[in-house]
């Protein structure tokens, strides 16, 4: 939410920017109110409070070479789901994050000259239904917390940030609802959409539609550089109606087991104008029990995931999407199928109404369930073995 500014005036050692339609006093009150609101309601440690205060100060006292933007999205509604609780019950409840996690953040850049910019991004997720953080540890900036440099030869960033899968494949290929059984919420495939600590990411410039990237998360274990680390590389190509992307991840366990979690993910999209087709594939290989950043400890196993989807824009505002997902775990000889139907109607460029239907079925003893609608009596992820689940979600999403 970057407001065009025509004037600036010194205030408390810095500068307040304000538009012709807004008085200087109003601008000061808004800056002070925003800072106080965030510090009171969202930041509960001295460090996070100081970080947020510094960002608010930057928006009020930065030089003209620097740009700071406040942004976010609110995604909420209601859901009805079958086979929850003891596996035989249904539930009707408020539902957050139908298409994506609600979040609020600050991002900005400073022009250093000669084609070089400093960039940063601080972002946290929250649940609109109760106002709490969306992570169990109340981590402050849990979605993004990085700083870096953007140059003619590429962009490098340091901090807490998303892997390449989420950057290049989730929104472009693996469509559908975030909670209603999205591909990256099958428990062997969580790294398809994951953020990591202690990370450095390098992304090349785009050349003839082609772009590459490398990502590394430091484990920080004395005497063992690989333990607890994450390595991620990827490439993508975009030209006209064609989009193709691929990534490879390797996570090393933070325990002494030496186990690794490997994930290969591929995706493609083609826009026929009257319909857009999407295809995704991912293969997961967990070499042994361990503790990984993106998935809970699991025994050694291999699994593959296939997804096919279409998007049909009936009007510029109204789009219907359909997806079919098939997950096969070859180690445990079980599989899961899922069907999704999503309808979205844009009331404006920023506000969208959402309706989502999803049906999931397990076979061979599989216990998958739709994220945030799990059967708690069967574990974090599980529904009853060979069980099914049907879910309906509806809500509204607003970006700012």
Residue 40, domain extent: 1-64
Q: Give a yes or no: residue 133 inside a domain.
A: no
pLDDT by residue (tens digit) across 40-79? 444 454 444 544 555 455 444 444 478 999 999 999 999 9
According to the model, what pLDDT value does residue 343 have?
96
Grade residue 315 by pLDDT with cuts at 50, 70 and 90: very high
Same domain (yes/no): 92, 17: no
The total number of structural domains that make up the chain: 2
According to the model, what pLDDT value does residue 6 have?
42
Same domain (yes/no): 33, 95: no
The CATH number linked to 183 is 2.40.160.10
Has residue 376 got a pLDDT over 50? no
Kind plus residue range of the DSSP H or E element containing 26: helix 24-41
Inter-residue contact 370 to 388 (CB < 8 Å)? no
More confident residue, 19 or 103: 103
Grade residue 174 by pLDDT with cuts at 50, 70 and 90: confident
| CA–CA distance, 382 with 300 (Å, rounded to integer) | 18
Inter-residue contact 278 to 236 (CB < 8 Å)? no
Grade residue 146 by pLDDT with cuts at 50, 70 and 90: very high
Residues 6+ apart with CB under 8 A from 231: 215, 216, 217, 249, 250, 251
Question: Within 13 Å of residue 117, how many CA atoms lie on the same side as its CB?
Answer: 16
Provide mean pLDDT across the span 218-231: 89
More confident residue, 276 or 66: 276
Grade residue 190 by pLDDT with cuts at 50, 70 and 90: confident
Inter-residue contact 147 to 131 (CB < 8 Å)? no
Same domain (yes/no): 268, 228: yes
Name the phi and psi angles at 361, rounded to 5. -140, 130
According to the model, what pLDDT value does residue 138 have?
64
Long-range contacts formed by 34-38: CB under 8 A, 24+ apart: 34/70
Q: Give a yes or no: residue 121 inside a domain.
A: no
Kind plus residue range of the DSSP H or E element containing 60: helix 46-61
Lowest mean pLDDT among 154-168, 201-215, 292-306, 315-329: 292-306
According to the model, what pLDDT value does residue 179 have?
64
């Amino acid at each position: 939410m970057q407001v065009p500014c025509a004037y600036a005036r010194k205030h408390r050692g810095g500068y307040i920017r304000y538009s012709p339609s807004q008085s200087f006093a109003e601008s000061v009150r808004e800056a002070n109110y925003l800072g106080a609101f965030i510090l009171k309601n969202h930041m509960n440690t001295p460090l996070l409070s100081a970080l947020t205060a510094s960002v608010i100060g930057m928006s009020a006292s930065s030089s003209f070479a620097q740009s700071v933007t406040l942004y976010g999205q609110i995604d909420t509604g209601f859901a009805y789901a079958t086979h929850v609780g003891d596996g035989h019950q249904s539930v009707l409840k408020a539902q957050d994050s139908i298409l994506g996690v609600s979040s609020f953040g600050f991002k900005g850049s400073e022009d250093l000259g000669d084609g070089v910019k400093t960039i940063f991004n601080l972002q946290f997720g929250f649940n609109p239904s109760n106002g709490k953080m969306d992570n169990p540890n109340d981590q402050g900036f849990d979605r993004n917390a990085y700083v870096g440099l953007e140059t003619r030869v590429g962009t490098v960033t340091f901090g807490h940030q998303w892997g390449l899968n989420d950057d290049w494949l989730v929104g472009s290929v693996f469509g559908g609802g975030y909670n209603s059984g999205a591909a990256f919420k099958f428990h062997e495939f969580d790294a398809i959409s994951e953020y990591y600590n202690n990370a450095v990411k390098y992304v090349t410039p785009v050349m003839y539609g082609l772009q590459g990237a490398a990502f590394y998360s430091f484990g920080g274990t004395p005497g063992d550089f690989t333990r607890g680390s994450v390595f991620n590389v990827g490439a993508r190509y975009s030209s006209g109606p064609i989009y193709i992307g691929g990534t490879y991840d390797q996570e090393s366990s933070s325990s002494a087991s030496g186990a690794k979690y490997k994930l290969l993910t591929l995706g493609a999209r083609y826009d026929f104008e009257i319909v857009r087709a999407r295809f995704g594939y991912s293969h997961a290989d967990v070499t042994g029990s361990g503790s990984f950043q993106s998935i809970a400890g699991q025994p050694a196993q291999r699994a593959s995931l296939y997804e096919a989807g279409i998007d049909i824009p009936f009007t510029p505002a109204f789009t219907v999407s359909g997806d079919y997902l098939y997950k096969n775990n070859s180690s445990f000889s079980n599989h899961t199928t899922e069907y999704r139907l999503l309808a979205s109607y844009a009331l404006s460029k920023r506000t969208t109404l959402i309706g989502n239907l999803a049906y999931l079925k397990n076979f061979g003893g599989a216990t998958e369930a739709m994220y945030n609608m799990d059967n708690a009596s069967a574990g974090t992820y599980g529904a009853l073995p060979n069980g099914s689940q049907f879910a309906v979600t509806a809500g509204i999403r607003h970006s700012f």
